[in-house]
Each structure stands twice: as structure tokens, then as C-alpha cells.
Amino acid sequence: MTQMHNRSANGPGSSGGTPKAAKAASAAANAAAALAVAAAAAPTPAQAAPSPAGLVPAAAPPAAPAFKAHLPESLLPLFRGSEAVAGGGGAASRVQPRGLLNPGNLCFVNSILQALLGSSRFCHLLSALRSASTDLDPTAMPTLAALAALAAEFPPLQQPSSGDAAAAAVASDAAAAGKAAVAASALSVLLGGQAFMLPDSLLDVVSAFRPSAPASSAAVTLGPGAARRSNGMLHLEREQEDAHDFLEFMVDRMHSELAALGGADGASDAAVAAASPAAAAAAANAAKAAAEDEWLTKSGRRLTKRKQLRGDGETAVSALFRGTYVSTVTCEGHPPSETPEHFTSPTLHILSDKVRSVEDAFEELTAGEAISGYRPQDHSPPQEATKTVRLQRLPPLLCLFLMRFDPANLRQKITKQVAFPPRLKMKRGWLAADSGERNVEYELVSTVVHHGKAISSGHYTADVRQPDDSWLRFDDGNVFAVKQQDVLTNRPYLLFYQRVL
């Protein structure tokens, strides 16, 4: 899954369309033939039936994974009804909060995990992984198995008893009076246990995230899992990594492992490559031609060129995190050209003086942008054009990346205050005309803050909303109660919003 750094946006097609050239049908036929030779037993996605006017959809929804016959029953909920898994889970799905120890430069991992645990829907997904833990092969599914192991460390959230409520009141009174020791003792009653170290399997996933700097010589000689602890310390002597990059990496790995397990597109490609190099090459060429194909879609009286959005199968992970947007380029004398794309965490640029809030950043994102030298066709002369971005599909969990580093100078951090609401209403002007999303609202569940002047150094913490609307700050193994006003006046790097409408 890709992130939205440049101005673009998602969206499946409108009413229908006709192929720009006959090469689309030829490319599709070649791809089908190559797949049939290499993996005859693999089922193929159903073709969309043409409309009475002979039009076919410009972009079909992602095909459901072709489930393997031996897929364990415990894993089926992660595919079938994936929307239900991603959309399920109320406050009862939350887990008891616990701190995460940091043995060395892992605050970027800890902060992302704590922020995600603020989402009841992500906790619901973790619960499904925990239930399927015995069927998750750590060799084939290292990220999923590692998260299942992590889930086992967090007990389910229990409804507070009268004693817990009294302890919380004591904590509040003690904090107000400056009695830190009493407050910490009372707060511990509400936590799910002492801070703990990340499971070894999850540390292996972190090592895969940043392979450029070997963790230790032991990792080379002893294999996976060796780069962990010696006398209680983690041998990961590297520069501070970026929390946003790790979020993208982890979500992509989770989805890819599930898609391959369910026999989605990625698994089919692997089967083709294993069957025959010639068949693999033919399938790759056909897929490339099909991916580059454009379709003329008709919406009212307007013709629009819309590229196809290639799916890689739907899983519970993509159903939770993935949105789509559409980038539209218009120039005189040619139909508008639309390019749909997936996103996991849209990038909001905040450098402009006009951007003082998250809403301002969305206005900036979806505003028209003049581009020079645009060629509507391969041999067309360069022209002036306008590019716009609109959101097409909004995910249940919206992760917003506030670009706090100047693209022209990554060493220069943007420390400006950017207002962000506890409840975010998505405006109609931010959405594509044919988007089915209307009156969508999100609730803030967590934030990640970067402390420091450079992206390659510093520290990350997470503020996480609790089911009773209180807030906790996670600074690795330390957990503190904070006021919502303190959260809203901070300068976050990442914002996590959960859909409520």
C-alpha cells in the first residue's frame, strides 16, 4: 500500500467507459493466458459484465482472495467479512494500557504501537490475530505472528470497578496536590501491568525494517532473532528511525502477508514465477500493459480518461487502513486524465502560512495546482495544465502525516502550531464527485509527537485516548495521565482518527 506524499487521490470509476484502444483486451487476454499456463489450478477473478450499452466499469473493486483449500478456519475471519473485522470492535475491544520498554532507539516503534492501540478497531484486528496465533507460521507471516505475540501481552480492558474508580480519583487528587508517588501508585491500578519489552519476534520485524545497519555480529552468525538482548540490552546501534516510515512498513507487511496467505494477486504472481521463467515474463509484460491502460469514462456529458486501479486483494488490514484518492489533470482540448491511487497515511503539508489547522491542510491538498510541460499524449507538445486531488474512499482508521520537515531541507523542522479537532468532519469539497462518502466524521484517538530538531534524531511519544475519554501519555515504559487540552495544544507528527459516521 502506498502513501500519499504528492498531490493525488483515490477512487474507483464512475458510471462506465470504453477502452481507449484494443490493446486493453489483448493485454488482458495475454495475462489470462500466461496465468493459465503457469497456474491452471488457480481460480481467476470474475470479469465485470458489460452494461446494455456495451460499457464496462472503468475500475472494478478489488477481487476477493482465492482462498487456499488448506487455509485454517481460524484465519478465515481475516479475509471473509474483512470489513466486519476492520469495522468491528467498540470500547470492549480495547486492551489495558501498558508501557513498552526501550532498550535502545526503539521509541519510534513503541509510539506507533501505542497509538494504534488507541483504536478499538485495530484492537479488534489484534484480537483476531491472537485467536489465530497457533496457525500463524512465523516463517511465512513474521509480522502477523509477531503482532499476535504482542497482543498476548495486553489483557482485555475490564470495566472499572468502584475500587478502580476510587483509585482514579485518588490519582487525580494526588496529581493536583503534587503527590507524585501516590498518583503513580493509584494510576498503576488502572494499567494492565508493568512495562515490558517487545516480543523477540517483533524485534526481528524491526530489524527487517532497517536492514542497512546490522544490529550486531551475532545477528549475522546466529540468524534471525540473535540481534536482541545481551545482559538485558538490545544490540540495535543505529540512528533514530522515522515513526511514519515504520507505520507504512508495518501496515504494508501485514497486508502483504495476509494477501499472500489468502492466495491474492501477489501469491498468484509468485506461482507464475515458480512455474516457468517464460510464463513469468509473459505475465509481467501483460500486467504492465494492462496497468498502463486508460479508459474513457462518461459522467453526464463529460468524457474522462481514467486509469485502472490495480488491486492486490482485500484483507482485514487493507479494509481498516486503506483509502483511495483520485488525481485529475486537465488541459485545454483534451479529456481530463484521472489516476486513482491507494493511500495508507495521507501527507498534509503545513509549511504554507495559509495552513493553520488540519482543515486548512486538507484545503491546500485538494486545491488546484498549476503544472507546466504536461503532455496529454506521448507525442503531444507540452501544455499548461491543472492538477487537483480528491478523496474517493475513506478508511475506518485515518492516519494523517503532518509534514514537519521542509522538503527542501530535511534538517529544518517545522515547529509551527497546527490546530487539530477532537472530531474531524470531512467536507464535501475534499471528496471526488462520484465518491459515495458523505457526512463522514472521525474521532481523534491518538497522536504521535516527535521531540527534537532533526528527523534522524530525537524522541517519540504517544498520547492515547481512553474509553472514558481521559488521555494517557506513553513515553516508552513511562505512562502519565494528561489533560485533553495538553494533547490538543501539542505539535503532533501523526494523527490517528477513527471513523464514527
d(CA 69, CA 321) in angstroms, rounded, equals: 27
Model pLDDT, residue 284: 53
State mean pLDDT over 300-306.
Answer: 51
Residue 247 reports pLDDT greater than 50: yes
Higher-scoring residue by pLDDT: 453, 56: 453
Model pLDDT, residue 307: 63
| Among the ranges given (85-94, 115-124, 262-271, 444-453), the one the predictor scored with the smallest mean pLDDT | 262-271
Superfamily of domain 17-35+94-155+194-215+233-499: Cysteine proteinases (3.90.70.10)
d(CA 387, CA 31) in angstroms, rounded, equals: 32
pLDDT per residue as tens digits for the range 173-221: 555 555 555 455 445 545 767 899 999 999 999 999 976 543 332 232 2
Domain range annotation of the chain: 17-35+94-155+194-215+233-499
Model pLDDT, residue 134: 93
What's the pTM value of the predicted model, to 2 decimals? Answer: 0.73
| Among the ranges given (181-195, 209-223, 441-455, 476-490), the one the predictor scored with the smallest mean pLDDT | 209-223
State mean pLDDT over 164-175.
Answer: 50
Q: Give the burial class of 403: count Cβ atoms within 10 A of its Cβ; 0-12 exposed, 13-18 middle, 19 or more buried.
A: middle
Model pLDDT, residue 500: 94
Q: Show Cβ contacts of residue 439 under 8 Å, excluding neighbours closer than 6 positions.
A: 501
Element holding 317 (H helix, E strand) = helix 316-321
Model pLDDT, residue 88: 66
d(CA 10, CA 305) in angstroms, rounded, equals: 14
Q: DSSP letters along 338-381, please?
A: EEEEEESS-EEE--STT--BHHHHHHHHHS-EEEEEE-SSTTSP
3-state secondary structure of 327: strand
**Pair 6, 13: CB distance under 8 Å:** no
From 129, 198, 190, select the one nearest 164 (Cα to Cα).
190
From 322, 325, 305, select the one nearest 313 (Cα to Cα).
322
pLDDT per residue as tens digits for the range 334-358: 888 899 999 999 999 999 999 999 9
Model pLDDT, residue 77: 77
